Chains A and B, each alone.
Chain A
Amino acid sequence: MSTAQHMDNFDDLFRYNYRPLCLYALHYLQDADQAEDVVQECYAALWEKLQEGTHVLNRKSYLYMMVRNRCLDQLRRKGVPTESLKPYDTYGIIDDDDAQERSQTEARLWTAIDSLPEKCREVFIMSKRDGLKYEEIADELGLSVNTVRNQISKALKLIKEGAVKIFTFLFC
Chain B
Amino acid sequence: MDFVLKHYQEGKFDTQNAIDRFNKAHGIVQKPRRRVMPWVSGIVAAAAAVVICVFLFRDSNQQIQLMASAEVQEYLLPDGSEVTLAPGSSLTYKKKSPRKTQLEGKAFFEVARDEAVPFEITSDGAFVRVLGTKFMVDAGSSVKEVYVTEGKVLFAKSSDSEGVVLTKDMQATLSQPDAVPVIAEEADVNSLAWQRGSFIFDKTHLREVLETLSDYYNVSFVADDLSKQLSGEFYTEDLDLIISLIESALDVNIVKR
Contact = CB atoms under 8 A, between A and B. Distances in A.
Interface of A: 11, 14-15, 18-19, 22-23, 26-27, 30, 32-33, 35-36, 39-40, 43-44, 47-48, 52, 74, 77-78, 89-91, 102, 106-107, 109-110, 113-114, 121, 125, 128-129, 172
Given A91-B2, A129-B6, 9 more contacts: A11-B19, A32-B7, A40-B22, A43-B22, A44-B25, A52-B59, A121-B10, A125-B8, A172-B15
Contacts of B11: 114
- The SS class assigned to the A binding surface is helix
Given A27-B3, A44-B78, A114 B15 contact: no
Given A19-B13, A40-B25, A44-B78, A14 B4 contact: no
Contacts, number: 79
A130 to B, nearest CB: 10
A102 B5 CA distance: 14
Interface residues of B, number: 25
B47 interface: no
Nearest to A110: B4
Contacts of B257: none
For the complex of A and B, the 10 pairs showing the least CB-CB separation, nearest first, are A89-B3, A90-B2, A22-B13, A18-B15, A128-B5, A109-B4, A32-B12, A129-B5, A106-B4, A19-B13
Nearest to A26: B7
Given A44-B26, A77-B116, A90 B3 contact: yes
A89 B4 CA distance: 9
B15 A14 contact: yes
11 contacts: A15-B19, A19-B15, A33-B12, A35-B13, A48-B26, A48-B60, A74-B116, A77-B116, A90-B3, A110-B13, A121-B10
Identify which of B4, B8, B26, B78 gathers the most chain A CB atoms within 10 Å of its CB.
B4
Contacts of A35: 13
Interface in B187-236: none
Nearest to A32: B12
Contacts of B18: 14, 18, 36, 39-40
B79 to A, nearest CB: 9
B122 to A, nearest CB: 22
Interface of B: 1-13, 15, 18-19, 21-22, 25-26, 59-60, 78, 95, 116
Nearest to A47: B26
Contacts of A32: 7, 9, 12-13
Contacts of B5: 113, 125, 128-129
A32 B9 CA distance: 8
Given A77-B116, A90-B3, A110-B4, A15 B15 contact: yes
Contacts of B15: 14-15, 18-19, 172
Contacts of B8: 110, 113, 125, 129
B191 to A, nearest CB: 33
Contacts of A77: 116
B42 to A, nearest CB: 42
Contacts of B59: 48, 52
Nearest to B16: A172
Contacts of A30: 7
A11 B18 CA distance: 11
Given A23-B13, A89-B3, A14 B22 contact: yes
A134 to B, nearest CB: 16
A125 B11 CA distance: 13
